[in-house]
Every structure is written in structure tokens, then in C-alpha cells.
Structure 1
Amino acid sequence: MAGDEYEAYVGRWSRRVAERFVPWLGVPAGQRWLDVGCGTGALSAAALAAGAEVTGVDPSPGFLAGRRGVVVGDARALPFADGRFDVVVAGLVLNFVPDPARALAEQARVAVPGATVAAYVWDYADGMAMMRLFWDAAREVDPEAPDEGALFPLCRPDPLAGLWRAAGLTGVVVDAVEVPTTFAGFTDFWRPFLGGQGAAPAYLAGRPPPVRDRIRDLLRARLPAHDIRLTARAWAVRGRRP
């Protein structure tokens, strides 16, 4: 399942970010939340645990199978009326929306006046150590390999803050959220890259076996054999709808 592969690759770390992001917003319990791009539900679960009433929306039916309170929908055209939610959030989503400004305008549209509109994205440029190590090795083996840091301009504080201000949101704040990412050994580190979910696994799946093996061997040489301890950083942004 897509959700299982995502969980093995990065979902287990995104849950930890969500658990820190929700209290960072500083909103009271009992409010109506919309989780845009809810995926496997990490952010929704953290909001529910904090006493929120949560609705989720995601474009991928594979993530939503069997779950209540979620609908299939596009972040750029949310299937909700204006001014319906007290808090509108998007976790690890905006980097992958073709038109993030339009998606943010939709988040603001469905928020009540004074509502918190917020998001967080992985820092692909520098802060996701597991991915930075992978892409550095991939580009050494294959000079045509992409670089997620260059592909996703919103993975830095200034572009995020600029996007929020351009949408007319007020009181904009951007902060880093950093969590540990630990692996029992190299197999635990490498296996998630074989699942096909995410930019790095998708790239790897499209390479011939000799290229995949060379990337694997280069990473193995650069990492400890056991007890691999890295960090993952996300940038969180929040503002209010006037």
C-alpha cells in the first residue's frame, strides 16, 4: 500500500514533527480544524489528541481507504464552503502542490476571520540528513540525478514567510522543527528508499540495478554499521486570516 511505503520512508518521522507543530500553533481545544493533504493522518492524529475536531482532505484515495472524516479533494480547489474552519493546516504538502499560492488562497478562503492558517515543509536543502546523504551520493554516481533542495524552493524560511504575507495573512511566524531520525543499522536506513514513495525512492526505482547498487554501497561506506543517528528539520509557518 502507498501509505505503508510512505510510513517506512518518512511517515514515522513526520508524526514527530506533527506532535511538536500542533502545540506550537497555540490554539485552544475544541476548534474546527481542516488538515489539507492529510495523507496517512499524522497531523490529524496530533490535532485530535489535542482536542480538535478534524476534517481531512487528500487527493490520493490510497491514503484514505477505510478512514472516517476525510474526503478526496484537491488543495487548489477545496470542497468546502467559505469560512468553515477555525484552523487550517497543511503538513508536508505545499512543496508538492503545482500552485502553492493558489492552495494557500484556498486555505484562507475556508478559514473564518481570525483563524490560524499554517503549514510545515521538510527542509530538503539542508535539514533532512537522510535525504541530503542520499542525494549527495546519487549525484556522485549519476550527475543527472536531481536535488530536492533545488527542486523545492519553499523548503526555506524566507520563501515560506513571503508566501504567507503575499496571501494577506497577518502575524506571520516561521520556526524550525527538528526531530531525531535513528536507524538500527544500514539495512534499516536503506530499505525505505526501495519503496517507491517519495522523490528519492522514485528516482532510485527508475535507475538500473548497477546504479542503485553503487549508490547503496557509497552510502554504506559513509554511515555507521549500527545505531545511525541523524536529524530531520521542517520549517513551520503560521499566520492569521484578517
Structure 2
Amino acid sequence: MDEWSAGAAYERYVGRWSRRVAAAFVDSTVVPPGAHWLDVGCGTGALTAAVLAADEPASVVGVDAAAPFVAYARRRVADPRATFAVADARALPVADRRFDAVVSGLALNFVPEPARAVAEWRRAAKPGAVVAAYVWDYADGMELMRWFWDAAAVLDPAVAELDEGRRFPLCRPDPLSRLWTDAGLTGVVVRAIQVPTAFAGFDDYWSPFLGGQGPAPGYAARLPEDHLRALRDLLQARLPIAADGSITLTARAWAVRGSVARR
């Protein structure tokens, strides 16, 4: 099972990059000022913070199934317009047709029964509201994870079963588009969001994998010391490390957007 219990460790691993994607996503999600937003799978609050910073919302409700992440988000996002609650993405504790925008960042692929989840998000959205989400392109475009899993597979071919690129076939344009269309959403579009992920040195890249949060760090946490050391050495040999020791990669997410038909 994937571990989601330490907000600070998650932030160091991928949260610092998810904030950049969240800002780009909000910029492209056209919602008028004064709107009421629902952030499903809010995690440590990156998307909620981006909405508050850019879109002048009346309110943002963030929900997540992981209580430690909700607690972290409450501490991090000090804005009276934001409230947070522990809730299942498939059974939201909100009224029908309540929100002008229902959004989700980097969470949908971890939700069992994603079709049920998106149907629930549509239920919570007003007629004419935006329903949108984004997920990492685990198969190709999320390079910091791709380098990790490719090196891990050299040392242990069985690791392919744990690789997010294989585990989450939903995280591609066609499956995301079908999921939104099947939920009855209209004007469905999918686009790429790509941001740079620059590391000061190898330790800046490697040490976040030791925090235990998410599939790759969870795998690293279970390795014997000698295997972990071999994986570290292989990654250090393979990564595109510049002469000054820095590492420049990119992270791509797929964003899907649709609207609830007006009655």
C-alpha cells in the first residue's frame, strides 16, 4: 500500500514540483472571481494555495482521505476562505450542485473506482461548472520517477509491477478523456503541463526518495541496505549530472477539463 502520512516528507519529494504544476493548471482553468471551489484529494494544499493566490475565490474546500495531509494543509494554508476536511473522493460530504469548480491535483490515479469518483465530483458541481484534474505522466514525462524506476528494474526486474507507469494506465490523454466524457461532462479537453525540476546535486535528487511517501520512496524504504546502496550508485552513474553537479529534469502532467451541461 502507498504511504501518505508525512506531509513534510511528501513536500520534499514531489510537493515542491507539484506547486509549479498547480499554478499552471489554475492559470488555464477559467473560473470567474468570487467562485466556490472544491479541491478533491487536496493533499498538502498545493492546489488550494494556487487557487487562493490566482483566482480570487469566495471559498475553497479541500478534502483528502489522508488525515495527516489534511492537518498539514490546514497549517500551511492560512486563509479564512479555505477549509479542509477528511473525506473519500467517492463519497463527498457536500450538497448537490454546490460548487462552481471541482478540481483535483495528482490524486485521481490513487482513488479506487475513478469513474465513481468523477461522477461524485460532477454531482457536487453546479450546472455550467468546471470539473478538472491533473495527474503525472508516470509512463514518460515525470522524469525524476522515470529515472528511479528504470534503474530499479535493472537491479530487480520484478519491480515493474510497482512502477507507477505500469500501475496507472489512467494517466494518459485518451483514458482521461474517456473518463470525463463517460461521466457526462461536455467540452472535454486534455493538455500537457510541463515544468522544470532542477536539483542542486545528486543528494538533492536522491534523499527525498528516503522519506517513505509515495510508491517509489515506499519501495526504497523496504530495500535491504546493500540493495539500496546499489540503486543509489546506479542512479548516480546514469543521471544527466552537469559539470557543476546539478541535475536538470522535467516533470509533465496531463490535465483534463470538462463542464457540467447547463439545464
Structure 2 Cα separation of the partners of residues 209 and 94 of structure 1:
33
Secondary structure of the corresponding residue to residue 12 of structure 1: helix
Tell me the residue number matched to 1:167.
183
Tell me the residue number matched to 2:102.
88
Tell me the residue number matched to 2:256.
237
Which of 65, 73, 82 in structure 1 is aligned with 2:71? 65
Structure 2: which 5+ runs fail to align? 75-81
Secondary structure of the corresponding residue to residue 25 of structure 2: helix
Percentage of pairs with the same residue: 65
For residues 62-211 of structure 1, the aligned pairs below 5 Å read 62-65=68-71, 67=74, 69-145=83-159, 146-211=162-227
Structure 2 Cα separation of the partners of residues 97 and 86 of structure 1:
22
Q: How many residues align?
A: 242
The answer to whether 1:51 aligns with 2:56 is: yes
**C-alpha displacement at 1:190, in angstroms?**
0.1
Query: Over the residues paired in the alignment, what is the CA RMSD in angstroms?
Result: 1.0
Structure 2 Cα separation of the partners of residues 7 and 71 of structure 1:
19
TM-score, normalised with respect to structure 2? 0.90
**C-alpha displacement at 1:65, in angstroms?**
1.8
TM-score, normalised with respect to structure 1? 0.98
What is the CA deviation profile of residues 38-77 of structure 1, one whole-angstrom value per residue up to 9, with x for unaligned ones?
1110000010112112111111110122716001100010
**C-alpha displacement at 1:136, in angstroms?**
0.3
Structure 2 Cα separation of the partners of residues 62 and 125 of structure 1:
28
Tell me which amino acid in the other structure corresponds to 2:95.
A
Give runs of ≥4 in structure 1 deviating > 3 Å: none
**C-alpha displacement at 1:211, in angstroms?**
1.2
**C-alpha displacement at 1:102, in angstroms?**
0.6
**C-alpha displacement at 1:212, in angstroms?**
0.8
Higher mean C-alpha displacement, 81-90 vs 23-32: 23-32
Structure 1 Cα separation of the partners of residues 70 and 121 of structure 2:
20
**C-alpha displacement at 1:207, in angstroms?**
1.4
**C-alpha displacement at 1:118, in angstroms?**
0.3
Tell me the residue number matched to 1:221.
237
